[in-house]
Amino acid sequence: MAVNTQQTLSAPRTTTPRLGDILVEKGFISESQLRQALEVQTSTGQRLGSVLIGSGWADEEQVTEARSVQMDVGYADVTLITPDPFALSLVPYETAQRYMLLPLSVEESPNGGPGRILLAMVDPWDVEAIDLVQRETRRRVEALLASDNGLQAALDRAYHASQNDAHTSAMTDSIELASLESVEIAVSEDEDIDLGSTTRQSGQAPVIRFVNTLFSEAVRRRTSDIHIEPRKKDFLIRYRIDGMLQTIKTVPRSLLAATVSRIKILAEMDIAERRLPLDGRISMRVEGKMVDLRVSTLPTQYGERVVMRILDRSSATRGLDEIGFSPTNLAAFQSLITKPHGIILVTGPTGSGKTTTLYAALNALKSPDVNIMTCEDPVEYELEGISQSNVNERAGLTFSRQLRAILRQDPDIVLVGEIRDQETAEIAFRAALTGHLVLSTLHCNEAAGAVSRLIDMGVAPFLIASTVIGVVAQRLVRRLCPHCKEEYFPDDDTLAMYRAMGGGNVPGMVLFKAPGCSKCDGQGTQGRMAVHEVLVANTHIHRLTMESAETNVIREAAIMNGMIPMIGDGLDKVRQGLTLLDDVQRKIGVSVGE
């Protein structure tokens, strides 16, 4: 029996039944096994239950069920029970873990009031834990006995189940109910919101718990961005996991104002301003590690849209060998960053990992005898031993103005977050001419295209040719889960795609796929890695730059100089079982028809 909340006795109990007798009566052990166990108990001093479990005559659940009879409390076999999501939502994981208890279900009250909550507990007589849960949930507790190991496993399964999103669903479902019970959300048809009421609502426990759960679930599932997207009658919670947006939950619209206000409060943003886009930042400890969230709001037709970029601080400590460089590309890039002066550009679209690559380069370069300074908008990760500074456009502190000030600080190496305009570019390029090593990012599609992009920006070709020593282009692709990936023989369509992408004919070629497992949340992928091309400038490329040559001409010269095209690096990683062919096609932009 999974749950037994009553112990039926024929008469009032006058003496406490012995554990061994109960086990024999229930048929869990024999009289002979009991006698032998009692002999072992006498000689060793062990508890009878431990002797029986250690001998293999009874399991932990049988002993626990017998103990529940002995203690005259209900018993819950948590190995067979799926807790109700609403019950889980009422008790935070930290409380459940600390007191070793698991909410199982909530019983409806016949008089319409809050019903009692059933808790499985290792110690059902823990008055402190019961009082705490009753205060937090405002419900009477019915405590049931559960086994120690069974409860711990059930806790992890219930609160951190990855394959069915049990925790996320439970918490968001609870907000729909618990918030409506305890919070009156004041939203009218014309979207007029009482600011004082909304502020009070954002501080209510259900809303706080909901927002905290969004963060903890996002971190646990390796999410890079959290999206809150308002619609006419509800709003969506979406996570970007390994570069792919996934809808996590649809939430009633009545909770939108309080949820957005709670996030704004955490990010120290103006909750009264709902007509203009706002930016903020949150730093907090989630799942045992420090994370930063960059928060952006945007007014839309149905309310404020919120996007939160999660910045994992561990990314700032990565080395060059951890971001996906192939051995050839790693050697080329290391040769560039050891040059005494010049400009190195990292190119690619937004979200392609450019900053992570630059930070890895700075980690490789930092030393007590080197002065490294950065000019960023904003500072994404804190790097020990490096002076970092923020651009503040509103205060008039632009990239160009900040860069001029940095060059008066006697730097050896300068990181410029992004070259956005001609003025910033010319200051950065002249800094390289005067003996500094400058690292920066640029928005263009390929390494060879950096020259045309800079010329379009207004930088003189001779300045580009004199300073640019190398360009890296990159994209992020999903990394196949190493725990469940397996070989397969591709079909004709896949082979046609592979050949169209420049892979050529490979008889008997084997590729890799991953069906999904518990380690990767059933996704088949676990994290992302970069695909690169590294252009090392030589005399021929400098001459082509001076002539303002077209991108395809510079590309051909770079390949002759040893550059591996990005598509080639991607296909190499496909053959090695590191990523997916579809991902390489989608991210690098090579289609079957090309």
Q: Which two tokens stand for residue 563?
A: 């550059």
pLDDT number for residue 248:
87
Whole-angstrom Cα distance, residue 235 to residue 237? 7
* Share of residues in the chain with pLDDT > 70 (%): 87
φ, ψ of residue 393 to 5 degrees: the values are -60, -35
CA neighbours within 13 Å on the CB side: how many for 227? 15
Q: Is 365 exposed, middle or buried (0-12, 13-18, 19+ CB in 10 A)?
A: middle
Q: Are 136 and 35 in contact (CB under 8 A)?
A: no
Structure tokens at 160: 């951190």
Res 451 pLDDT > 90? yes
Give the angle 523-528-533 at the CA atoms, nearest 5°: 140
Which residue shows structure tokens 């919670």? Answer: 237
Nearest to 122 by CA among 167, 158, 153, 89: 153
- pLDDT for position 398: 79
Average pLDDT, the chain: 83
Please name the amino acid found at residue 448.
Answer: A
378 versus 67: the higher-pLDDT residue is 67
What DSSP character marks residue 87? Answer: H
> Beta-strand (E) ranges in 333-377?
342-347, 372-376
Q: Which residues of 70-81 are buried (b: 16+ CB within 10 A; e: fewer)?
A: beebbbbbbbeb
Choose among 25, 21, 29, 20: nearest CA to 58. Answer: 29
| Angstrom distance (rounded) from CA 46 to CA 299 | 67
Kindly state the DSSP code that residue 523 receives in the 8-state scheme: S
Nearest by Cα to 528 from 240, 118, 301, 188: 240
* Of 37-41, 336-340, 517-521, 559-563, minimum mean pLDDT range: 517-521
Task: Look up tokens 């591709």; give the residue.
Answer: 490
Does 202 have pLDDT greater than 80? no
- Angle (CA) 319-322-328 rounded to 5° is 100
Query: How far apart are the C-alpha atoms of 96 and 543, rounded to whole Å?
Result: 68
What is the CB-side half-sphere exposure of residue 5 using CA atoms within 13 A? 11
Taking the model in full, what pTM does it have? 0.63
pLDDT tens digits along 370-396: 999 998 877 777 788 899 888 777 777
Are the C-beta atoms of residues 324 and 244 closer than 8 Å to each other?
no
Omega before 85 cis (within 30°)? no
Distance CA 531, CA 445 (A): 13
Structure tokens of 224? Answer: 């890079």
Question: How far is residue 366's CA from residue 316's CA, in Å, rounded to a whole number?
Answer: 13
Strands 101-106 and 117-121: antiparallel
Residue 534 predicted with pLDDT over 90: yes
State pLDDT tens for residues 294-325. Answer: 999 999 999 999 999 998 766 667 889 888 89
pLDDT by residue (tens digit) across 223-245? 999 999 999 989 999 999 888 89
Average pLDDT, integer, range 532-541: 96
Token pair listed for 343: 């400009």
Identify the pLDDT of residue 98. Answer: 86
Predicted confidence (pLDDT) per residue in 405-447, tens digit: 898 899 999 999 889 888 888 889 989 998 999 999 999 999 9
